[in-house]
Amino acid sequence: MLAIFLGFELISKVPSTLHTPLMSGANAISGITIVGALILSNTAFNEGDPGTAAWLAFAALIMASINVVGGFMVTNKMLEMIAGKRRKGGK
């Protein structure tokens, strides 16, 4: 609960001009997490007896994928909002 509250407070104080670059950075970090989780999952599940590390890698893969998809959706929404302001301004 504390992480949700802190994350909301931090993101609400970020200006909209910085939000898209920060989201791109978060997507890049999640992409690295996805690659690492895929490598670990492949190695652990192919050995026949997946241990705790394999299941944690699988969970990391799912959560990082959700983060990347959500990040792209938020970034797209922000870019649409910026483009809409420019169109209304006559530029």
pTM of the model: 0.64
**Is 14 contained in some domain?**
no
- Looking at the chain, the whole-number percentage of residues with pLDDT higher than 90 is 7
**Is 77 contained in some domain?**
yes
Residue 57, helix vs strand vs coil:
helix
Question: What one-letter code names the amino acid at 10?
Answer: L
Q: Which two tokens stand for residue 33?
A: 């997490």
Predicted confidence at residue 62, as pLDDT, reads 93
**Is 24 contained in some domain?**
yes
Q: Give the residue numbers spanning the domain of 34.
A: 19-88
How many domains, the chain?
A: 1
Predicted confidence at residue 19, as pLDDT, reads 67
**Is 34 contained in some domain?**
yes
Residue 80, helix vs strand vs coil:
helix
**Is 68 contained in some domain?**
yes
Give dist(CA 34, CA 71) in Å, integer: 14
Alpha-helical runs (H) found in 2-51:
2-12, 16-46
**Is 1 contained in some domain?**
no
**Is 6 contained in some domain?**
no
**Is 82 contained in some domain?**
yes
